[in-house]
C-alpha cells in the first residue's frame, strides 16, 4: 500500500494546485473530479514507424480519481489563514478519492511529508502533528497573489479603464462555409486610404526640384526635361570577371545612402507625375464632352453621334493615335472622370495604380459604388488636406483652386458617414462643456504638478548589473530596444517603436448613429495583434469621477487623462464584444499603453471593453447593442 499512498498524495497535491491556480469555471460543473492516468508503452523499434508503434495497446499502470468538489468545500469552510506554528490539517476522507493501482511498477513517488495521515482525524493526531518537527502547511481560504499580478489600490471611484499586460493567444477564427471576399471597390477604397496615410509626397515643389530645364543645342535651344541625380550618388559600372558581371561596391561609405535618397526622389516624382496624368486625362474627357455638347446644342437637328465622331477623329490627328487606340484609352479615362465626379479630386489623385484596373474592367462600377464614393468624399478631403497640405497644387494645371477646405489636424474633424459636411470636433462637445478644447498629442505629457520631473511610467531594469552602454531589453522578446532603427532589434510593435519613420494610423473620428456621440472607424484592416496606436494623454494621479486609464509599474500607480489633450484613442467606444484591447508594453524601460487589434476589418468601428471597474456603480447605460451585453440594465443616464 506504500505505492497507493504515494499515488494518493501526489494526486492530492496536483488537485490543490489546480484549485489554487486554475481560472477554469469549476462552478459550472455539478461534481468536478480530477482523473489521473499513467500508461507504460514501448518506444518504436528500429525501422518501425511511429504509427505502427502507436497501434500497440499500452499497458495501464496507474489510475486515480480525486473529488474536487470536496476539496473545494473544505477550502471555502476555512475562514482565516492558519497560524504558522499550527499543524491543524484536515485529513482526506475515504470517500474523497477513488484509487486504482494496476500491476506493474508505478511512477516514482515524490518526497513525502513527515506526517502521513493514514487514519481518521482525532485529537491525538492533531496534537502530535502540532508538535512534529516538520509541519504540513495549512489549507486556507486566502492565497498569495501570483507574481505577475499587479497590486491595484481599491477605490470607490468609477470610470477607470484598465489595460492588460499580455495579448490573448487565441486561434484566429475562420468563418465556416462560404464568405464574401473584398470587392473591387473595397480594394480601390482601401488603396486610397493606404496612399493617404502612407509616406507618398505629392508636393509639386519637390517635383520641380528634381526636374530641371536645360537647353538642347541640337533642337535649336528648345527646352527639355532632364532628371539631375544627386552629386556622386551613382554606383561604379559593372565589371566583367570570369565571364560574369559583378557590381562594384560604393565609391564612398555614404554612397548607398545617397542612392537611396535619389531613388526615393525619383519614385516620388514618378508618383506625382502619375497623379498629374490622371488629373489631365479626366479633365480632357470633360473638355471632349463639352465640345460635342456645344455643337449638338447649336445644331439640334444633326445627330449627336456625328459630332462625337468628328471630335474623335480630330483628337486622333492631334494625338497621332489610331481611332481604336484612342477609344480604348477614352474608355479608361472616362472612368477617371466618373470617380472624380463621385469621390472628388482626392479620390482620383490618391487612388494609386489600382485605379487603372478598376476603370478598365469596370467590375462593380454601378450606382451603388458611386454613391458609396460620394459618402466618403468629405472624409477623403479631410485626410488629404490635413496630411498632404500641398496636394491641391497639382490641380492648378487644370485651373482648380489650390485653397484647402480643411485646416488643422485630421482628427480635429468629425466625419459623417452619410456624406454630409464634417463637423469640427469642438462642436460635438459644446452641449456638455461650453469651454471644451482638445489638443492633439504625439507623445504623452507628464503632469509636473503631480509628478514633478519624474515619469511614473519609467522603471529600473530588472538586471542587477547594467552596463552604462547597454541597450534596454524588451520584456516580451528580450531583444535590444533603441530609437535608432540601425541598433533596434525589438519588433514587437514595429510601426510604433524603433522604426525609421512612423505613418499616421488609418483611422478617422466619425459621428455615430446610435447615440454614442463620436467613435473611431478603421479605414483599413488590422490583423489580430497589430497595433492601432498608443494611448497618450496627461500622465497624472488622484483624479476621480472622470474617464481615466489606470495603470501601474512595480514602483508607482498613475493615470492617463485625455479630457483636454491626447490622440484618437480618446474616441474608442465601449463594447461588451470588443474587437480591440489595451495592452501594456515597455519601451526603453518606460511603460506604454497600446491599443491592439483582435482582428478588425476595414470600415468597422474600433471598440474596447472598458472593464468591470469602469461600470461598477456608474449611472450609465451601455449602448453596444451586443447580445452578450453585460450593462444594458443601467439607468437612463449618460450613454457610453
The CATH number of whichever domain residue 433 belongs to comes to 2.170.270.10
Same domain, 284 and 356: yes
| C-alpha span between 208 and 281 (Å, rounded) | 21
Domain boundary residue, one of 368, 385, 407: 407
- Within a domain: residue 148? no
CB 520 within 8 A of CB 507: yes
The reply to whether 387 and 277 lie within a common domain is yes
Domain ranges, residue 436: 411-640
Sorting pLDDT into bands at 50, 70 and 90, what band is 100?
very low
Please name every residue paired with 161 in a beta bridge, in sequence order, or none if there are none: 549
More confident residue, 90 or 352: 352
Segment 298-303 mean pLDDT: 91
User: 292 with 399, same domain?
Assistant: yes
- Give me the chain's average pLDDT, please: 77
Please provide the DSSP assignment of 149-192 as one string. PPP----S---EEE-BSS----PPP--SS--PPPPHHHHHHHHH
Q: Are 462 and 586 spatial neighbours (Cβ–Cβ below 8 Å)? A: no
Residues 471 and 582 in one domain: yes
Say if residues 237 and 250 touch (Cβ distance below 8 Å). Answer: no
Note whether residue 126 is domain-resident.
yes
**pLDDT tens-place string over residues 575-623:** 999 999 999 999 999 999 999 999 999 999 999 999 888 888 788 889 9
Contact between residue 264 and residue 230 where contact means Cβ atoms under 8 Å apart: no
Q: Which of 172-181, 437-446, 469-478 has the lowest mean pLDDT?
A: 172-181
- The residue among 131, 160, 193 that closes a domain is 131
Verify that 542 and 592 share a domain, yes or no: yes
Residues 602 and 638 in one domain: yes
Cα separation, 582 vs 245, in Å, equals: 53
Do residues 403 and 272 both lie within one domain? yes
Which three cell numbers mark 476?
A: 516580451
How far is Cα 311 from Cα 551, in angstroms, rounded to an integer?
70
59 versus 128: which is more confidently predicted?
59
SS3 content of the chain, % helix, strand, coil (to 5): 35, 20, 50
Alpha helices (H) along 350-423: 354-361, 367-387
Calculated CA dihedral for residues 568, 348, 351, 395, nearest 10 degrees = -80
Q: What's the pLDDT tens digit per position in 406-434?
A: 999 999 999 999 999 999 999 999 999 99
403 and 504 together in one domain: no
Same domain, 396 and 511: no
8 Å CB contact between 271 and 202: yes
244 occurs within a structural domain: no
Asked whether residue 624 is assigned to any structural domain, the reply reads yes
| Out of 28-37, 140-149, 249-258, 421-430, least confident range | 140-149
Residue 89, C-alpha cell as written in the block: 490539517
- The share of the chain scoring above pLDDT 70, in percent, equals 65
Residue 422, in any domain of the structure:
yes
Q: Which three cell numbers stand for residue 326?
A: 484612342
Nearest-angstrom CA–CA distance, 220 and 236: 34
Q: What is the pLDDT of residues 57-66, one digit of tens each?
A: 566 666 777 7
b/e code 148-173 from CB counts within 10 Å (16+ = b): eebeeeeeeebbbbbbeeebeeeeee
Residues 464 and 583 in one domain: yes
Residue 504 covered by a domain: yes
Residue 640: closest CA among 158, 153, 157 = 158
pTM, 2 dp: 0.69
Res 394: pLDDT: 93
Cβ proximity of 102 and 4 under 8 Å: no
What's the number of domains the chain is made of? 3
Q: Is residue 137 part of a domain?
A: no
The residue out of 131, 151, 170 marking a domain boundary is 131
Domain shared by 441 and 548, yes or no: yes
Range ranked top by mean pLDDT from 179-183, 341-345, 352-356, 463-467: 341-345
Task: Please report whether residue 153 resides in a domain.
Answer: no
Do residues 512 and 386 share a domain?
no
Amino acid at each position: 500500500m506504500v505505492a497507493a499512498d504515494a499515488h494518493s498524495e501526489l494526486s492530492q497535491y496536483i488537485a490543490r494546485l489546480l484549485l489554487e491556480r486554475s481560472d477554469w469555471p469549476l462552478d459550472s460543473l455539478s461534481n468536478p473530479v480530477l482523473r489521473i492516468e499513467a500508461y507504460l508503452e514501448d518506444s518504436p523499434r528500429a525501422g518501425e514507424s511511429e504509427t505502427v508503434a502507436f497501434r500497440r495497446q499500452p499497458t495501464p499502470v496507474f489510475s486515480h480519481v480525486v473529488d474536487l468538489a470536496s476539496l473545494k468545500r473544505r477550502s471555502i469552510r476555512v475562514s482565516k489563514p492558519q497560524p504558522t506554528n499550527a499543524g491543524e490539517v484536515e485529513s482526506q476522507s475515504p470517500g474523497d478519492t477513488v484509487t486504482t493501482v494496476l500491476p506493474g511498477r508505478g511512477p516514482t513517488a515524490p518526497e513525502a511529508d513527515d506526517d502521513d495521515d493514514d487514519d481518521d482525524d482525532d485529537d491525538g493526531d492533531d496534537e502530535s502533528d502540532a508538535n512534529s518537527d516538520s509541519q504540513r502547511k495549512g489549507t486556507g481560504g486566502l492565497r498569495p497573489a501570483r507574481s505577475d499580478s499587479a497590486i491595484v489600490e481599491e477605490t470607490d471611484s468609477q470610470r477607470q479603464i484598465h489595460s492588460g499586460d499580455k495579448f490573448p493567444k487565441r486561434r484566429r477564427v475562420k468563418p465556416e462555409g462560404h464568405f464574401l471576399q473584398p470587392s473591387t471597390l473595397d480594394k480601390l477604397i482601401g488603396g486610397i486610404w493606404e496612399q493617404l496615410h502612407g509616406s507618398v509626397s505629392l508636393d509639386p515643389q519637390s517635383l520641380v526640384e528634381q526636374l530641371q530645364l536645360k537647353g538642347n543645342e541640337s533642337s535649336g535651344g528648345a527646352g527639355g526635361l532632364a532628371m539631375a541625380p544627386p552629386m556622386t550618388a551613382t554606383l561604379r559600372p559593372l565589371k566583367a570577371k570570369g565571364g560574369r558581371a559583378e557590381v562594384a561596391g560604393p565609391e564612398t561609405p555614404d554612397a548607398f545612402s545617397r542612392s537611396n535618397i535619389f531613388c526615393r526622389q525619383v519614385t516620388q516624382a514618378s508618383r506625382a507625375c502619375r497623379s498629374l496624368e490622371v488629373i489631365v486625362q479626366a479633365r480632357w474627357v470633360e473638355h471632349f464632352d463639352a465640345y460635342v455638347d456645344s455643337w449638338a446644342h447649336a445644331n439640334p437637328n444633326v445627330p449627336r453621334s456625328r459630332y462625337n465622331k468628328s471630335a474623335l477623329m480630330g483628337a486622333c490627328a492631334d494625338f497621332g493615335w489610331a481611332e481604336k487606340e484612342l477609344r480604348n484609352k477614352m474608355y479608361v479615362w472616362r472612368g477617371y472622370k466618373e470617380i472624380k465626379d463621385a469621390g472628388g479630386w482626392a479620390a482620383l489623385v490618391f487612388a494609386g495604380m489600382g485605379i487603372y484596373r478598376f476603370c478598365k474592367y469596370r467590375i462593380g462600377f454601378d450606382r451603388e459604388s458611386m454613391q458609396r464614393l460620394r459618402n466618403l468624399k468629405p472624409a477623403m478631403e479631410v485626410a488629404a488636406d490635413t496630411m498632404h497640405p500641398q496636394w491641391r497644387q497639382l490641380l492648378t494645371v487644370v485651373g482648380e483652386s489650390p485653397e484647402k477646405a480643411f485646416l488643422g489636424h485630421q482628427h480635429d474633424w468629425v466625419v459623417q458617414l452619410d456624406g454630409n459636411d464634417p463637423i469640427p470636433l469642438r462642436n460635438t462637445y459644446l452641449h456638455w462643456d461650453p469651454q471644451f478644447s482638445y489638443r492633439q498629442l504625439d507623445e504623452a505629457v507628464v503632469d509636473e504638478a503631480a509628478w514633478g520631473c519624474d515619469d511614473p511610467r519609467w522603471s529600473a531594469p530588472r538586471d542587477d548589473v547594467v552596463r552604462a552602454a547597454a541597450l534596454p531589453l524588451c520584456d516580451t522578446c528580450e531583444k535590444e530596444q533603441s530609437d535608432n532603427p540601425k541598433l533596434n532589434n525589438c519588433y514587437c510593435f514595429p510601426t510604433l517603436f524603433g522604426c525609421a519613420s512612423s505613418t499616421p494610423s488609418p483611422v478617422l473620428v466619425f459621428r455615430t448613429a446610435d447615440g454614442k456621440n463620436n467613435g473611431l472607424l478603421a479605414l483599413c484592416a488590422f490583423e489580430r495583434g497589430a497595433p492601432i496606436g498608443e494611448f497618450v494623454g496627461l500622465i497624472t494621479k488622484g483624479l476621480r469621477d472622470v474617464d481615466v486609464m489606470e495603470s501601474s509599474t512595480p514602483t508607482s500607480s498613475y493615470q492617463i487623462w485625455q479630457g483636454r489633450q491626447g490622440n484618437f484613442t480618446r474616441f474608442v467606444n465601449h463594447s461588451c464584444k470588443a474587437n480591440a484591447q489595451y495592452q501594456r508594453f515597455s519601451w526603453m524601460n518606460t511603460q506604454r499603453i497600446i491599443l491592439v487589434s483582435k482582428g478588425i476589418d476595414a470600415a468597422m468601428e474600433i471598440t474596447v471593453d472598458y472593464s468591470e471597474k469602469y461600470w461598477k456603480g456608474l449611472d450609465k447605460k451601455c449602448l453596444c447593442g451586443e447580445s452578450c451585453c453585460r450593462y444594458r440594465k443601467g439607468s437612463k443616464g449618460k450613454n457610453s
